[in-house]
A = this chain, B = another copy of it.
């Protein structure tokens, strides 16, 4: 099975060696092996674990919480329930983020239309209501 240096692993994951060393320091790579010369040797399984770590990061999970999960993984079957619950919670978090993103998109799209109309008219005044004494263009 081929292995990867920290630079190769970084490239494969679109990260930097700095970041990978930082993850290691924070305890996110407990199983990482070293060569006789002390150089980190990333296996395919390490890259897979890092992909999960990046996935959890994308859900907004802080690194300390990810470390808790990594520790659970090292604990074996005793922590299956915690890990299951964690992913269920992450699922709920992502669902909420999706809903929020939809709301955000709705506002952005309204603004796109607003500025499309203003651009066609050549002036934002086209949106001024007669009853509004003052409006903020933002």
Contact = CB atoms under 8 A, between A and B. Distances in A.
Given A115-B83, A115-B87, A119-B84, A138 B52 contact: yes
Nearest to A49: B138
The complex is assembled from copies of this chain, and their number is 2
A108 B91 CA distance: 6
B94 A105 contact: yes
Interface in A94-132: 94-95, 97-98, 100-102, 104-105, 107-109, 111-112, 115-116, 118-119, 122-125
A79 to B, nearest CB: 9
B94 A101 contact: yes
A109 B107 CA distance: 29
Interface of chain A, main secondary structure: helix
Interface in A63-77: 69-70, 73-74, 76-77
How many residues of A sit at the interface, in one of the four size bands?
35 or more
A54 to B, nearest CB: 9
Interface of A: 1, 31, 43, 45-46, 48-49, 51-53, 55, 58-59, 69-70, 73-74, 76-77, 80-81, 83-84, 87-88, 90-91, 94-95, 97-98, 100-102, 104-105, 107-109, 111-112, 115-116, 118-119, 122-125, 133-138
